[in-house]
Every structure is written in C-alpha cells, then in structure tokens.
Amino acid sequence: MRLSARIVNTAASVAVLIGCLSLAAPAVSVAGAVEDGKKIAFSKKKGNCLACHAIKGGKLPGNIGPPLVAMKARFPVKNDLKKQITDARVKNKHSIMPPFGPHQILKSGEIDKVVEFIYTL
Amino acid sequence: MKKIAAIITAVVMLASPFVVNASPQQDLKDFRSFFKKKFPDTPMNDFINGVYSVHKASREQWEAFEEFPSYEIYVDKGEALFNNTKFKNGKGFKNCFPRAKRGIKGNYPYFDTKKGKVVTLEGTINKCITSNGSKKWGWKKGKMAHLSAYLSYKTRGQTIKVKTPKGKKAVAAYNRGKAHFYAKRGQLNMSCADCHYYYSGNKIRADILSPAIGHVSHFPVYRNKWAKKTGDGMGTLHRRYGGCNKQVRARPFKAQSAEYSALEYFHTYMSNGLKWNGPGQRK
C-alpha cells in the first residue's frame, strides 16, 4: 500500500501514455485491452489488485482476497465479473475490497480493460 | 502520497458489523477473545510486539535489531530534554511531572470530566510548556517524540489500565473513537478494523497486518521509513494514525485533534491488561 514516489511517477506517466495511445488508435484490440488491463491491475496508483490477490505474473501478492484463478469457471457470465470489480459491496456489504467504480478509483473504461485481463486468468 | 488527487473526505458510516451500544467492558472482553481465537498460539501479553507477535518469520530479524535499538539515543535525548529544559519562568519538566522517573505514561489517556475532553501524554507535555510561558513543540516528531520516548521507557513493564469510561461525555468520547476505528473511510473505503482486526495476520502486498490489540503499547516508535529523510525515525501514535488514514486516501485529521484523541482513548482501552513496552522499533 505504501507508494514510493518513483513508482507513482512511473505509473502516472504510463497512464498518460496509455491515454494518448488510445486517442490515436480508437479501435483498441482485445489483446491491447488485456495488456492495458494488466498494467492497470498491477499499478499501485490504479487497481493495486496485488495488494490483496495473487495474480499470475505479479510479484509479492497479498492474501486478503482469494487468488484470482479460473475466472471463467468462477464467472461464467463476464458481466458478473465486471460487477464484482466495479463494486464488491454488492455481494458483500462489508467488503474490504475498494469500490472501484462508485469511488472513481478506476474509470469505467479502465474497469473494462481490467475485466478483459482478469478474464484471461 | 502528496499528489493524491481525489482525496475523499466523506466517511461512509455503513451499518458496521460491530455493536454500537455495547458497554466498554463488553467491547474489551469481545476484543480480547476475538484475538485470542484468531491467534491461539500467541500469548495474550505478546500482542504488545505488534506484527511480530503473529509472524514468526520476521520476528528473529526484529529481535536482532532490538539488541541495538535505534530508539536508544532518542530515549537519551528525551532524558536530557526532561532534565535540562528551562522554561521562560525558570521552571522545568520536573515541576509538571514530579513522578516521571517512576513511569507516568500509564496515566494517559484519560477523560477529564471538568474539561470535557480526552487528555493525552503529548497534550500534557505541551500544556506544561505553554503554561510556563514557552513555545509549544510540534506534535508528531522531534523533541515531542523524544521526550515521549523517555517517559514511555520509564513506564515499561507497567500494566495498561485506562479507567473504564463513565458518564455521558466520557462514553461519548469513547464511542467516537470506536466509530473511527470501525468506519470505512477514504477513496479506498477501508476501516482500521478491516486491516487490524478482521484481516490482521494477513498480508497486504508484502506487509503483514498487525493486530490492533497491543498497538498502543510501544509508542512512540522508531520507524526505518520515517528515518529516511533526516535519520530521526521517531514518531508519535498520532503520526501513525495520519499515515494509516492517508494510505486509504482519506484526509488525515490533525495530530492531537479531538478525533485522534478519542481514537487513542478507545484504542488504548482495548489493550487494557497488557504491558507498556515503549518505545518500539518498526520497519
């Protein structure tokens, strides 16, 4: 959870870059969305999902939430996964997982990309 | 940390899972039995060692640090401040704290019925300074933390025994602190209880979350993280509160505000029965 200034800056400039790229190329490919989603999920300033979840490809994960694996089996309907990531309180009123959508931690476009990435796990 | 754009101040007071109207005595009983069940291998008094009471792997390294603790020179500085500070009117700390050498940290926090507020050790230190005509110290680090470290050191081994809140105003202050502890806050919407009660012992990224019971026993604390800028890593409990509020992107309250004093009151009462062991040493 502790943000070192350098990591924050890098994350911020990555985010800016992503912003420019998607402006230049409006039709984002699915593969691109998965890649972007991974960056957003792993960035401390953005999703910071690794604070709580083990995720393939991520280092030093926390263990507050369950490891994110077999997502297609856990969420046969992709939109249910989106709901979970948007606002975990819908399923568990007292969830420690941040309400990424309602608290504007992630923009809705960013959540879509994170969903694409998580759904590959 | 400073650049967090969207700091959300609104505190969402969801119907929290704790019982709002339980008596302080009942809260204390529940708090203790919760941690006893959660960490059956940890003897009750060992919770004063924070995260090291529940995580064997990091404990050894910490114990090695404790052999030559970084806070030692600050305890000495605190002692010098205690003995040598002369206020405008010629008096010194001895005049305010005649019993300091026998350990007085355990007298705080308490609810002062006449003033209608929680009184802390740090608050009393600054009161002593200003009532003798001198300029008050900063609340979170530096001299305040050094003197507090010395006074805590002299109190080592004594039992934490905050008087059970009695009377409307004292109970209200206690409940304010309790509400702070359980309330979701900040953009990330997390409570102290989320991290230091329900998920204590779990890992958040690479950090193990310490149990809230025993938290207050070893403050002020020398943190390696705080030492990075100036070399002086000492900080008070309220400095830590501010840091933990910021982590969830909430706007911190001021050190020694009524809010944090109430939190300290609740937080310390929840450690009643354990021993004081300040100052401490942390990552």
| Closest CA relative to residue B223, chosen from B280, B268, B267 | B280
Return the pLDDT at A3: 39
Q: Which residues of B are catalytic?
A: 244
Report residue B5's pLDDT band, with 50, 70 and 90 as the boundaries. very low
Domain locations along chain A: 2-118
With a cut of 50, say whether residue B156 has pLDDT above it. Answer: yes
Q: For residue A8, what pLDDT is reported?
A: 36
Tokens 């604070």 sit on residue: A51
> What is the pLDDT averaged over residues B86-112?
96
Q: A45: nearest CA in chain B?
A: B4
Q: What is the pLDDT of residues A71-111, one digit of tens each?
A: 999 999 999 999 999 999 999 999 999 999 999 999 999 99
Q: Which residues of B touch A105 (CB under 8 A)?
A: 187-188
pLDDT at B166 over 80: yes
Task: Identify the band that residue B141 occupies on the pLDDT scale cut at 50, 70 and 90.
Answer: very high
Residues of B with CB under 8 A from a CB of A: 1, 3, 6, 8, 14-17, 187-190, 194-195, 198-199, 202-207, 225, 247
Instruction: Please answer whether residues B18 and B30 qualify as being in contact, where contact means their C-beta atoms are separated by less than 8 angstroms.
Output: no
pLDDT digits (tens, 9 = 90+) for B39-57: 999 999 999 999 999 998 8
Strand partners, B203: B208
Q: What is the mean pLDDT of residues A54-79?
A: 96
Query: Using alpha carbons only, how large is chain B's radius of gyration in Å?
Result: 18
Higher per-residue pLDDT: B170 or B20? B170
A1 contacts in chain B (CB < 8 Å): 204-205, 207, 247
Question: Which residue out of A60, A90, A96 would a mutagenesis test of the B interface target, given it has the greatest number of B Cβ atoms within 10 Å?
Answer: A96
Q: What is the pLDDT of residues B214-231, one digit of tens each?
A: 999 999 999 999 999 899
Tell me the C-alpha distance between B126 and B137, whole Å.
6
Write down the number of H helices and E strands in chain B: 11, 7
Model pLDDT for residues B224-271, shown as the tens digit of each residue? 999 998 999 999 999 999 999 999 999 999 999 999 999 999 999 999
* A1, A10, A16, A100: best to mutate for the B interface, most B CBs within 10 A: A1
What integer pLDDT is reported at residue A57 of this predicted model? Answer: 95
* Residue B4 scores a pLDDT above 50: no
Tokens encoding B208: 């193990």
CA-based nearest residue in chain A for residue B199 = A64
Give Cβ neighbours of residue B228 (< 8 Å, ≥ 6 apart): none
Residue type at B30 in one-letter notation: D
- Rounded Cα gap, residues A19 and A22, in angstroms: 5
Name the residue facing A51 among B6, B194, B204 (closest C-beta).
Answer: B204
Percentage of chain B exceeding pLDDT 90: 86
- Residue B228, pLDDT score: 94
C-alpha distance across the termini of chain A, in Å:
23
CB pair distance less than 8 Å for A2 and B199: no
Nearest residue of chain B to residue A61 (CA atoms)? B205
Residue in the block written with tokens 């929680």 = B118
B201 contact residues in A (CB cutoff 8 A) = none
Per-residue pLDDT tens for B268-278?
Answer: 999 999 999 99
What pLDDT, on a 0 to 100 scale, did the predictor assign at position A37?
A: 97
CB B272 within 8 A of CB B212: no
**Where does the pLDDT of residue A20 fall: very low under 50, low under 70, confident under 90, or very high at 90 and above?**
very low
Show which residues on chain A lie within 8 Å of chain B, measured between beta carbons: 1-3, 5, 8, 48, 50-52, 60-64, 93-94, 96, 98-99, 103-105
Confidence of residue B18 (pLDDT cuts 50, 70, 90): low
pLDDT at B280 over 60: yes
Residue A38 pLDDT > 60: yes
| pLDDT computed for residue B266 by the predictor | 98
Strand partners, B208: B203
Per-residue confidence (pLDDT) for residue B194, from 0 to 100: 98
Contacts of B190 in chain A (CB under 8 A): 96, 98
Q: What's the mean per-residue pLDDT of chain B?
A: 92
Q: Verify whether the Cβ–Cβ distance B188 to A103 is below 8 Å.
A: yes
Q: What is the pLDDT of residue A106?
A: 97
Q: How far is CA B156 from the centre of its chain?
A: 15
Nearest to B173 by CA among B269, B93, B97, B90: B269
Say what the pLDDT of residue B68 is: 85
- Chain B hits for A13, CB-CB cut-off 8 Å, are none
Interchain pair B3, A50: CB under 8 A: no
* Average pLDDT of every residue of chain A: 83
- Note the pLDDT of residue B15: 41
Provide CATH code, domain A2-118. Answer: 1.10.760.10
Contact yes or no for B257/B241 (Cβ under 8 A) = no
Band of residue B20 on the pLDDT scale cut at 50, 70, 90: low
Has the ipTM of the complex gone over 0.85? yes
For residues B138-150, one letter each, b for 16 or more C-beta atoms within 10 angstroms of the residue's C-beta and e for the rest, the string is: ebbbbbbbbbbbb
Which residues on adjacent β-strands are paired with residue B221? B235, B280
Q: Locate tokens 């008050």: which residue?
A: B136
Neighbours of A20 (CB within 10 A): 9
Write the burial class of residue B180 (CB in 10 Å: 0-12 exposed, 13-18 middle, 19+ buried): buried
From B34's Cα to the closest Cα of chain A, the distance in A is 18
Inter-chain Cβ pairs, chain A and chain B, closer than 8 A: 54
Contact (CB, 8 A) for B269 and B174: yes
Q: What is the pLDDT of residue A121?
A: 94
Residue A29 pLDDT class (50, 70, 90 cuts): confident
Tell me how close the Cα of A109 comes to any Cα of chain B, in angstroms: 18
Please count the other Cβ atoms lying within 10 Å of the Cβ belonging to residue B36: 14
| pLDDT more than 70, % of chain B | 93
